[in-house]
Amino acid sequence: PADSTTECIGGREDVTPVDGVAPGGLRSALVLVGAYDRRTGCPVLGVINEPFFRRDPLTRRWQGRYHWGVAYGDTRLCSLSP
């Protein structure tokens, strides 16, 4: 599925990233939540969660990370640097 559900269920960890992007396996699973202005249809808020971003070599537990952005009126904020 496009939402990477199969990647989570399969639990594949052996996929090598290509140019820094994992083409499959757990590291390709993402969760996207977005909101839009119903009047204009323009997106105003988005959050991307990467639950399997990196595995701690000592504990072997997965560490996640997230990115977010807001664009509403004159407000333009995000968690990423340009």
Tens digit of each residue's pLDDT (9 = 90 or more) over 33-42? 999 999 999 9
Predicted structure pTM score = 0.71
- What the chain holds in terms of domains, given with CATH numbers, is 5-78 (3.30.540.10)
Amino acid making up residue 75: T
pLDDT of residue 4: 62
Starting at the edge strand found earlier in the chain, the sheet holding 62-72 runs 31-36, 43-55, 62-72, 75-78
| Rounded mean pLDDT, 52-60 | 91
pLDDT of residue 79: 96
pLDDT tens digit string along 12-50?
787 888 887 887 788 888 888 999 999 999 999 999 998
